[in-house]
Amino acid sequence: MFNVVIEKSLKEVTKKEMLQLKDLTDAVRLDQATQEHGSVMIYNIQNMVKMFLVSDDPKNPQEYAKTVITDTEGNRFVTGSESFARRAWEIADDMAGEEFGLKVYRRPSKNYPGREFLSCSVI
């Protein structure tokens, strides 16, 4: 079992949302979706959360950083990409509470030829 530790959120997370963050099995995986479709459009962002899933098993401690985005339609999107998280939070900070959406896409890495990373831009 994993516990959720929220580092930051666009808005306060309700108890229901906290439970939803513990189970991301039905969330759209941005890494996979961008490989299949080239880009993913996320309109009308309701919340964005940077969190850690922390194992409560002392014999097998694990921690995963995740960024989860929910839209007003109830869709959830998730990724562990740090490059995406940095860019998405820069945009959120610049938007300062205004409504916005994100176009998520893959970019070639300058440091690792042949590899790609996730990024985004505001829509």
Phi, psi of 88 (to 5 degrees): -65, -40
pLDDT at 46: 93
Q: For residue 1, name the pLDDT band (cuts at 50, 70, 90).
A: low
What's the whole-number mean pLDDT along residues 45-74?
A: 88
User: Between these two residues, 92 and 21, which has the higher pLDDT value?
Assistant: 92
What's the whole-number mean pLDDT along residues 44-71?
A: 88
> Which tens digit of pLDDT belongs to each residue from 63-100?
889 999 999 999 999 999 999 999 999 999 999 889 99
How many CB atoms within 10 Å of residue 107? Answer: 12
CA distance 104 to 53: 23
> In the numeric block, which tokens belong to residue 116?
């790609």
For the chain, what is the domain count? 1
- Supply the mean pLDDT for the chain: 91
Q: Whole-prediction pTM value?
A: 0.88
What's the whole-number mean pLDDT along residues 93-116?
A: 91
pLDDT at 63: 84
CA distance 78 to 71: 12
pLDDT for residue 60 is more than 80 = no
CA distance 87 to 105: 12
Q: For residue 107, name the pLDDT band (cuts at 50, 70, 90).
A: very high
pLDDT for residue 3 is more than 90 = no
Range of the domain at 87: 2-122
